[in-house]
Structure 1
Amino acid sequence: MTHTFGAHLTAGATEAGSRTALVFENRSWTYAELDRAVRRTVARLDKSGVRRGDRVVMQGAARPEALITLFAVTRMGAVLVPLHPQATGGELAVVCEETEPTAVVADEKFPAGAGLRLTWEELHPEDDGPEAPDCDPPAGSDVAVIAFTSGTSGRPKGVALTHDNLHWSMANGLARLPFGEDDTVLVSTPLAHVAVLGGLPQYTWARRGTVILAPRFDPDLFIDLVRDHQVTCAFAVPAMSALLARHPRFADGDLDSLRWILSGGSPAQTATREQFRARGIGVVNSYGLTETAAGVTYSAPDEPAASTGSPVPHVELVVVDATGSPAPASTSGEIWVRGPSVAAEYWTARGPVPVTDAEGWFHSGDRGRLDTEGRLEVVGRVKDTIITGGENVDPAEVENALADLPGVVEVAVSGTPDPIWGEVVTAFLVSDAGEPSLDDVRTHLDGRLARHKWPRRLRVVPALPRGATGKLQRQRLTTLLDD
């Protein structure tokens, strides 16, 4: 059976054509109108010379034309390569070197790249234009999207996600997340994020719900859109959730329609999660990566705050020790994932590079532990573990314990070199209420964490280093000590 990405949108146009599929600012599209827009874009891409198997680099701007382009490129059997809208010329050069695109779709301010350049206005003119005729769908094993990882260091890697990968990712999300055709979902993250390519908006369209697309994330705009469109569900990385929880309007009635927020990238910190719970909004933690085409675990809103939930139906997940053997329950180790949503290859100019081992396991590089009920808690990166005086310390555990320190807006923890201890636990805090002292931090942690996990160094900083998608760049933390 062929699992063409976008088949859920085509089915929606046939079965629920008059329902509202997408809203952006003052315009909306029904399922039938959105499908027609995709057909017209296929025709324009074909006329421009794009063919099956060609790569099309696209600036991942938060605009409806980008979503339409995503469906058009993949429907015609070409391969979409989405980039963050703030990508630099150097980043674009790496992507073009690796993928050799036939075309780049972007606005005029986006850096120039290799291949044919198409602006949004050229690809999506105001006149309707002809629609592409039906064509043979791509095979499930064909690559649909090459999503470049937002790694914290080194050369980014292009994850080759097939139509099958994206189909099974959607099947996993639909099996676990509690929503249906009457839900309205808000998307306010860059469209190059895997949570958009294989995540919540795709699940929403499969259920015939409505997606509200925000042009950017801004707490005031987010709250306005929830109020104006009676949004019921939304996706947010933890930094976004924390900003919302601290906003003066958070307690107002404007968010009353919001039932739950899906937290991706890392679990929402305990303090933020409790603020949402007190407000009557559930937080669904998830664990997933670009290589797994979005989520492989989802929690229930009433699960322990640190839990990311149990594995979805079409995924195998194990936590292994240093020998590759399954670790006992509640013991941390590396998270391995296997299943049809897991990519098989990284795309490079030199040819494909395997993502998985010979038995199909993806070694995530993340540390986690499974409790006795099979629920996953993510505790950090394997390489991020701090070894201080011979004791292992997980930065995420210390960060979670410091998240509700009075005045703290954001917190990150890292190991910094020390001639006696090897490394010492170092806390980096963003505060909106003066500068907490190391004694304040230790008093707060007394009774919460063992003493060897307490920070020995503290730096209050104006902001934490984050990548384009909001992911903490932990390797850059130590540079803040020199500021």
Structure 2
Amino acid sequence: MRNQGLGSWPARRVRSGPHRAALLGEHGAVSYADLYLRVTRLAHALRGLGLGRGDRIAYLGPNRPSFVESLFAAHTLGAVFVPLNTRLAVAEVDHQLRDCGASVLIYSAESAGVVANLTAPPLLVAVDGGVDGGVDGAHDYESVVRAAPDDPIDEPVGHDDAALILYTSGTTGSAKGVTLTHGNVIWNCLNTLVELDLTRDEVTLVSAPLFHVAALNMTLLPTLLKGGAAVLMPGWDVDACFDLIEQHRVTWMFGVPTMFADLARSSRWAAADLSSVRSLLAGGAPVPLPLIRTYQERGLEFLQGFGLTEAAPGALILSAEMSTAKAGSAGVPHFFSDVRLEHSATGDAVGEILIEGPTVMPGYWERPEATAAVLSEDGWLRTGDVGRMDEDGYFSIVDRIKDMYISGGENVYPAEVEAQLLEHPDVAECAVIGVPDGRWGEVGRAFVRTRPGAVPDRDGLIGFLAGRLARYKIPKTVQFVEDLPRTASGKIHKQALR
């Protein structure tokens, strides 16, 4: 095949296991043969709409077969797939579509309200029924797939070609598109297969949203590469999770600690049949030791990982057998990755975590200055995280150089929130930090100095942010202050606020 990228995977899988289940869930079972047929037809349909090599194909919707079909169809054509976060506000989706220059947006009924309010939408394809999907003039996904031919497409695609643009918020307040090549994703999948020891009989529960790099590149794609079955959950639901594990005999799943804590708190926890589960992969934040012990009592152990979108994402992995002995550690480097600390001139024991290897992105989409700020000339990626390494080579995350915090597995950058707060006419100054939260890990707290004569109004400020930011980015608490602490250089001193 001339296509050496992700788009060739459905055809390659058909050669050895056409009747094996590729996708499972509320939609029923989709075999590898069915997946290949629908991907090929969708690729023809998109080509008929004018899409081709290098074009950006955006997708907005939950975990369903149409997401997987759209991804592989885009890569069949040599196009770039851009999965969008379904939790974003209209303005945020607008920005990302404009920034990547998307030629088409494939969307589900759940996102029709957002799509209907976009200022300048690209060509639209509605998964759930054209006009009934909420936007006049949208092509009907199922109709274009069924009407398209199914003859093979073998577009030349190499490992250095762009495969994905995944948006991550920046410290400057605007989202940047992380460009990942086919090679980046393939090497990350190989790392995952090595570290997790996946088998052809794997049944993977994809419970985190696929617009997140971990759900896409650490769970779905490695499973399909190996020839296993992926069980798609459209949204997080504790009871549905237990049901799917029991119904499909799930062998492994990825989740953020909040999700695993939800399962352990459920009234179904003690009696649930989890006998099929071989391994659990947690990311987004360290797993608390009490939660590790709760799972160990059920005969289940965690693998814990550290990574970031710019590294496709895996960088460090903590094996299940070391999850207690090295509790709190982020682990050791993935097999095909290298990680080191860049220490300060003072010789401190901690330093910034740097990553190098074939999973590291070539750069941010059309942001050469932002790229140069994080990628060294010899290919090392600056993570913005400070860590330390123990005598056994295990890394621990100490703090973040950037002010980012993680809420329920979602990265939140205070600068983005602060920029929106400053749009409010009563706000003179503000600062946002993450504070501990028993359920979400961290939530936002805004410190606000109002303009003279303004009456402090917490509910008014929270309401002002609704529709401007995704809900997880909106601070849970607001503290009104007379002044904000500052460093010697005049910058707001966030450590003092913490």
**Same fold at TM > 0.5:** yes
Aligned to 1:337: 355
Query: SS of the residue aligned with 2:6?
Result: coil
Could you report, residue by residue, the CA deviation over 1:106-140 in whole angstroms, capped at 9, with x for unpaired residues? 13333234321111142233736412532223122
Conserved 8 A contact 1:259-1:280: no
Q: How many residues align?
A: 410
After superposition, the Cα gap between the structure-2 partners of 1:27 and 1:141, relative to the gap in structure 1 and judged at 3 Å, is same
Answering whether residue 41 of structure 2 is matched by residue 40 of structure 1, we say: yes
Answering whether residue 154 of structure 2 is matched by residue 135 of structure 1, we say: yes
Conserved 8 A contact 2:7-2:74: no
Aligned to 1:434: none
Conserved 8 A contact 1:265-1:471: no
Could you report, residue by residue, the CA deviation over 1:333-374 in whole angstroms, capped at 9, with x for unpaired residues? 211001111001100378984451112111001122222221
CA deviation after TM superposition for structure 1 residue 7, in Å: 3.5
Could you report, residue by residue, the CA deviation over 1:424-457 in whole angstroms, capped at 9, with x for unpaired residues? x9964448xxxxxxxxxxxxxxxxxxxxxxxxxx
Structure 2 CA distance for aligned equivalents of residues 430 and 349 of structure 1:
37
Aligned to 1:438: none
Which residue of 312, 336, 339 corresponds with 1:317?
Answer: 339
> Which sits farther off after the overlay, 354-363 or 122-131?
122-131
C-alpha RMSD of matched pairs (Å): 3.3
Conserved 8 A contact 2:76-2:155: no
After superposition, the Cα gap between the structure-2 partners of 1:109 and 1:131, relative to the gap in structure 1 and judged at 3 Å, is farther
Query: SS of the residue aligned with 2:114?
Result: coil
Amino acid in structure 2 at the alignment position of 1:118: V
Structure 2 CA distance for aligned equivalents of residues 231 and 428 of structure 1:
32
After superposition, the Cα gap between the structure-2 partners of 1:237 and 1:471, relative to the gap in structure 1 and judged at 3 Å, is farther
CA deviation after TM superposition for structure 1 residue 151, in Å: 5.1
After superposition, the Cα gap between the structure-2 partners of 1:272 and 1:337, relative to the gap in structure 1 and judged at 3 Å, is same
Structure 2 matches for 1:216-231, cutoff 5 A?
216-231=235-250
After superposition, the Cα gap between the structure-2 partners of 1:206 and 1:109, relative to the gap in structure 1 and judged at 3 Å, is same
Aligned to 2:301: 282
Answering whether residue 206 of structure 2 is matched by residue 190 of structure 1, we say: no
Aligned to 2:31: 30
Aligned to 2:421: none
Structure 1 CA distance for aligned equivalents of residues 77 and 232 of structure 2:
24
Structure 2 CA distance for aligned equivalents of residues 20 and 97 of structure 1:
37
Answering whether residue 178 of structure 2 is matched by residue 159 of structure 1, we say: yes
Answering whether residue 116 of structure 2 is matched by residue 109 of structure 1, we say: no
> Which sits farther off after the overlay, 181-190 or 346-355?
346-355
Structure 2 matches for 1:41-440, cutoff 5 A?
41-107=42-108, 108-111=112-115, 112=118, 113-120=120-127, 121=129, 122-125=140-143, 127=146, 129-150=148-169, 154-303=173-322, 304-323=326-345, 331-348=349-366, 353-354=371-372, 355-384=374-403, 428-430=436-438
Structure 1 CA distance for aligned equivalents of residues 170 and 282 of structure 2:
19
Amino acid in structure 2 at the alignment position of 1:332: V
Amino acid in structure 1 at the alignment position of 2:332: S
Gaps of 5+ in 2: 130-139, 408-413, 415-432, 440-464, 482-498
Q: TM-score, normalised by structure 1?
A: 0.77
Structure 2 CA distance for aligned equivalents of residues 161 and 132 of structure 1:
28
Structure 1 CA distance for aligned equivalents of residues 312 and 77 of structure 2:
21
Conserved 8 A contact 2:41-2:146: no
> Which sits farther off after the overlay, 28-37 or 252-261?
252-261
Conserved 8 A contact 2:4-2:156: no
Could you report, residue by residue, the CA deviation over 1:384-412 in whole angstroms, capped at 9, with x for unpaired residues? 59xxxxxxxxx99xx9xxxxxxxxxxxxx
Amino acid in structure 1 at the alignment position of 2:23: L
Gaps of 5+ in 1: 386-394, 400-413, 415-424, 432-464
Q: TM-score, normalised by structure 2?
A: 0.75
Query: SS of the residue aligned with 1:73?
Result: helix
After superposition, the Cα gap between the structure-2 partners of 1:132 and 1:290, relative to the gap in structure 1 and judged at 3 Å, is farther
Structure 2 CA distance for aligned equivalents of residues 482 and 238 of structure 1:
31
Structure 2 CA distance for aligned equivalents of residues 224 and 232 of structure 1:
14
Query: SS of the residue aligned with 1:124?
Result: helix
Query: SS of the residue aligned with 1:138?
Result: coil
Aligned to 2:18: 17
Conserved 8 A contact 1:24-1:213: yes
Conserved 8 A contact 2:171-2:402: no
CA deviation after TM superposition for structure 1 residue 17, in Å: 1.0
Aligned to 1:435: none
Query: SS of the residue aligned with 2:302?
Result: strand
Percent identity reads: 31
